[in-house]
Chain A
Amino acid sequence: MSKLVLSGLTKRYGSHAAVDTLDLTVESGHLVSLLGPSGCGKTTTLRLVSGFAVPDGGSISVAGQVVSSARGVVPPEKREMSMIFQSYALWPHLTVAENVAYGLKLRKLPRADIERRVQAMLDTMQLRRFEARYPAELSGGQQQRVGLARALVVEPKILLLDEPLSNLDASLREEMRHEIRRLHDRFHYTTIYVTHDQAEAMTTSDLIAVMRDGKIEQAGAPDDIYERPETEFVARFIGSTNILRGRRVGEHEADCDGLRLVCESGHWPEDGSAVVSIRPHRITLSGAADGSAPGTVERAIYLGAQRHYIVALDAGPKLQVLASSDVLAHEGERVGLTLPPAHCRALIR
């Protein structure tokens, strides 16, 4: 398999750097998500990896061999990669089977071989029934599966997916998410998966790289990113969270508008300020007498399995709290919150 290394990768459009000295290593056979808001450079990164764009700086290497640098690139057709496009990019003048067979025909395999591999792939994708149809005669999900089949049948060294599910409806997206992970577990292609949906990234990836303004802000395993964010941007982007700002007052302690918080993990900014993240479901809500932080319930929303509260603390800040649906409190009621030090995390910015 092929290890993919991007180092110091830079691509400028005019004076604006769409990708800015980006470093990323994708271990052979791993699936890495590039996660980030619109315009942060995800597609540009994929186009650099696939050879459609020439970098202005840095390099890309596959299995130890440089394939892109500012001096030149191996053209896309020679990279033995496959790509799934946001628009699917199925060829409307070819049938499903012809779409899938295209890459194999280019490889000049024997006809019987092509036939066998196309059929096997169509079976895997449950597309057998549609093989003679044209793309326009398929549903969105079926089209997406044809795109996957077409990309996978050539057994690429590296698979690139650009927001492959963004055009699907919610339930289909959920289903395809698991499908993609299942296929990856089966074929183990080195994969970069671009998305701006954190749930998608969590379910599919071995590693999540959160991008911001052309740079990788933080990369790590899904639980790593979720439980141990380094920055406010990452903490907010992956799941919802409470961010509290204040001053650092001790080795592990912050003062946020009079609320004292002990953080067992994280890193502190150099300048003595403090940014603390605590996930809503990590906060315990109890009677007014208990808990370290007294406050008043401002809003109570019933979500079925959980209850969502917004609590205005006496000390000042407002916090979001997710509690089990057994924990009942009414709007206006006095409550006490417990903010466990194990789940308070200090962020660098």
Chain B
Amino acid sequence: MSLALNTTRRLRLGHVDLSLIPLGLAGLFLAMLVLLPLGWLLAYTVTDESGALSWTNVVELADTSLFLEPFITTFGIALGVASLACLLAVPLAWLVARTDVPARRLLRGLVMVSFITPPFIGAVAWVLLAAPNSGLLNQYYRGITGAGTFDYLFNIFSAAGIIFVMASYAFPYVFVLAANTLDRMPHDLEEASAILGGGRWHTFRRVTLPMVLPALLAGFIIAFLQAMTQFGTPAILALPAGFHVLTTKIWSLFQFPPKAHLAAACAMPLLLVTIFLLRLEKTLLGRRGYTMVGGKSGSPQLAKLGVWRWPALLLALLLLFVTVLLPNLVLVRASMLRSVSDPWTLETITWANVPLVFGLSNTVGVLKNTLVTGVVSATLGTAFAVLIAYLTARRAVPGHQVLGFLATAPAAIPGIVLGVALFIAYTRPPFQLYGTLWILLLAFLTIEMPPAYQQMQAAFRGLNPELEDASRILGAGRMKSLAKVVAPLLKTSVAATWCFVFIGAIRELSATILLTTSNTKLVSVLIYDLNEGGALGGIAVLGLVLMAVTAVVVLIANRVAHVGVMPDGR
């Protein structure tokens, strides 16, 4: 017996290894996904309208009202958000992780519910609650105190209002980091300190705090980044108040006539600060992963709160009621009323908002667009994540480290920056994608690649490569082994990743706002438009639909994957 083909042909075949071609193409596509837009962004930053190399953009940026003011505002707000988020999250995390406060699971669950609400919908809810005139809370205030028509208690259209709203959607991220750290922290250290005579305060300051501090700083950075890069909340709250943050400024540069060069220059600092802060966070967290929710180990020594158990619980519930439940409740209320200022009684309840919203000429089309881009980007994104994670986990091709870097790099690109970059890159030949759903697809693929890749990478690490080798030696090629052995074994991770990307895509606003046209509108942008038109009942309906879909998908993902999956904050 001898091998069927002659040696030279065999060798050549082996040398190329045909199955590497699709894998190589995936790598190439990934490079294009990240490098092409960023390259254009850089190019636009340092050129003028005529394409000549110039510093005019940078010079114009130095103009205070254009850049400096929004920049300072953004920084101030982000600092405020990060501080407030930590202030809310850390005591709560300590309560549920380290004390005998009642209903700890309920408290954890309520925090998770907050991930379901996209922040920009939360912002609309807070407009309903605390706009100076029409806000419900202010109406109640006037009703109770008999204050004048123009008096108000809260004004959400203010820097303080923005900080509060953003912090209430950022603190769950800090909470998860802090609670996980407290859960995993070896308790024996604390106990040792207590045995050695350290008082509770001393133990906290000298043992607990130093161990939690890195996670806390990392949480601070995450909240800071969210506040700095978000578009929706400031657009809804700061623009009526008459000031800009960086993201809204960039967006305004795209209002007619678009100033893409200036926008590119304006996006650069956002990009650089993000990269810097993410590096800092990585250093702080080291190699430990804090992304998993749940998975507690051991039973920690819980601090006894004594008589303070119930007051502590009440306080925690109050906090969660205000930040999590109240906005959602007011959305439900608004979805059922013709006018948001109507009282909420059996007589005034109506379904009128539903046909109203779905009767708008473009709503059905918008929902279809959202669903299509969501499903397609989830499917393609997961497929790419699987391929790239496979290449890097198995070191299958030379240069796999570069692939891993490229796949995680978009995490440092804020949505609005990516929006600018994609707009520039794809409004020109050979890729004239602006005005099609393709450009949105590219945006979502890029934005969701890092988390999707990291999930799949972890899954591959847990899979013995010999399982795959066994398939190959029995006669299956690389791709076939991937399909017949690896895919079935990873299907839960694949499903979880799919859900993750899907949720991320259907609620994205920051990049989408720059990339949609009237024909390619998505739900998030429709909600934003309705807000500008003051159709708050319609927003409430759409927002609730979006949240219901998110909740269902999250539940499914958690069911199949047995790990915590939470939507992304952008």
Contacts and interface: CB of A to CB of B under 8 A. Distances in A.
A40 B485 CA distance: 31
A154 interface: yes
A167 to B, nearest CB: 13
Query: 4 tightest A-B contacts by CB?
Result: A72-B15, A103-B474, A89-B466, A89-B470
Given A76-B472, A157-B1, 6 more contacts: A50-B469, A50-B473, A75-B472, A75-B477, A78-B13, A79-B473
B469 A74 contact: no
Interface of A: 1-2, 50-52, 62-67, 69, 71-83, 85-87, 89-93, 102-103, 106-107, 150-151, 154, 157, 160
B467 A91 contact: yes
B10 to A, nearest CB: 5
Contact of B1 (A63, A67, A78, A160): A63
Contact of A80 (B3, B478, B485, B488): B3
Interface residues of B, number: 30
A203 to B, nearest CB: 25
B473 to A, nearest CB: 5
B110 to A, nearest CB: 37
Contacts of A69: 11
Contacts of B3: 62-63, 65, 67, 74, 78-80
A65 B10 CA distance: 10
Contact of B489 (A79, A91, A103): A91
A42 B277 CA distance: 47
Contacts of A89: 464, 466-467, 469-470
Nearest to A1: B1
B488 A74 contact: no
B473 A82 contact: yes
Contacts of A92: 489
B469 A72 contact: no
A71 B15 contact: yes
B4 to A, nearest CB: 9
Contacts of B7: 65-67
Q: Is the interface of A mostly helix, strand, loop or mixed?
A: loop
Contacts of A102: 471, 474, 484
Interface in B201-215: none
A70 B475 CA distance: 22
B477 A66 contact: no
B473 A81 contact: yes
A33 B143 CA distance: 92
Contacts of A51: 14
Given A65-B3, A82-B474, A72 B11 contact: yes
Interface centre among A77, A102, A154 (most CB of B within 10 A): A77
Contacts of B471: 91, 102
A24 B466 CA distance: 25
A217 B66 CA distance: 77
B312 interface: no
B32 to A, nearest CB: 28
A75 B475 contact: no
Contacts of A52: 469, 472
Contacts of B1: 1-2, 63, 157
19 contacts: A2-B1, A63-B1, A63-B2, A63-B3, A64-B2, A65-B6, A65-B10, A69-B11, A75-B17, A75-B477, A76-B469, A76-B472, A77-B472, A77-B477, A78-B10, A78-B13, A82-B473, A91-B489, A151-B474
A103 B485 CA distance: 12
